[in-house]
Amino acid sequence: MLKSERVKFIMDHLESIYPKTPIPLNNNNNFELLVAVLLSAQCTDERVNRVTPLLFAIANNPFEMEKVDLKVIYDIIRPCGLAPKKSKAIQDLSKILVDKFDGIVPKDINELEKLPGVGHKTASVVISQGFGLPAFPVDTHIHRLAQRWGLTKGKNVKETEKDLKNLFPPEKWNKLHLQIIFYGREFCSAWSCDGTICEICTTCYPNRKNHLKLKKVSFLL
């Protein structure tokens, strides 16, 4: 199967399984989304969704959040892991949003990436899910699937993102990135599929006999 054929099959197959793609992290505004995505680093969406209601009950905007004691933030988000770093980032970025952006989350990916605790992947999620602008957030899971499906030979998420953006039309990026995540969790996880089991793997590479050994990835949040 040619790469162009794999691309079309993957898009069509994912659309047939996931015609709707609800945002995994619960939020009511872009500030809540930004904080939730920050908390999701090395943490499951389910756990973040259990923690954020407690945090947002105290402060759901940067004006309120910058006034919350750091220990209070820390104690609430501790189940999400990396609490010292994440709690300080939440407090610091809240102050910056108030001082520099009048409390509004910027609609500019470059400005988002300058905020404490916000890397390219986190900024891309906010741009995509918060503002509806074309972005293709790539984490280690999407990187793994893109390698399995022969869509990239990228050594890191930055290279993989570039390859995926070149293969898929911009109007598909926002939905497709979620569809890939959902499919990976349900059918093609690191444990449930070795490149020879799920329908996408077997359709794209019907003659693949051996377990696919993936390259290590360097990952920035």
Span 14-70, pLDDT tens digits = 999 999 999 999 999 999 999 999 999 999 999 999 999 999 999 999 999 999 999
Per-residue confidence (pLDDT) for residue 216, from 0 to 100: 52
- Cα–Cα distance measured from residue 141 to residue 96, given in angstroms and rounded to the nearest whole number: 31
* Tokens matching residue 89: 């980032």
User: Which of 3, 139, 165, 216 does the annotation list as catalytic?
Assistant: 139
Cα separation values, 178 from 24, 51, 133, 149, Å:
9, 22, 14, 16
Per-residue confidence (pLDDT) for residue 28, from 0 to 100: 98
Give DSSP secondary structure letters for 72-93. Answer: HHHHHHGGGS-HHHHHHHHHHH
- Cα–Cα distance measured from residue 25 to residue 48, given in angstroms and rounded to the nearest whole number: 7
Is the model's pLDDT at 161 over the cut of 50?
yes
| Catalytic residue check, 3 | no
Torsion of CA 150, 152, 155, 161, to 10 degrees: -140
Per-residue confidence (pLDDT) for residue 94, from 0 to 100: 98
174 neighbors 128 (Cβ within 8 angstroms): yes
- Cα–Cα distance measured from residue 187 to residue 123, given in angstroms and rounded to the nearest whole number: 27
For the chain, what's the residue count? 221
- Cα–Cα distance measured from residue 153 to residue 163, given in angstroms and rounded to the nearest whole number: 9
- Cα–Cα distance measured from residue 105 to residue 94, given in angstroms and rounded to the nearest whole number: 9
Is the model's pLDDT at 215 over the cut of 80?
no
Residues 124-150: tens digit of each pLDDT = 999 999 999 999 999 999 999 999 999
| Catalytic residue check, 85 | no
Mean pLDDT score across all residues of the chain:
95
Average pLDDT (62-88) is 98
Q: Which domains does the chain have, with CATH numbers?
A: 3-20+136-204 (1.10.1670.10), 30-131 (1.10.340.30)
Cα separation values, 157 from 48, 175, 202, Å:
23, 18, 24
pTM, 2 dp: 0.92
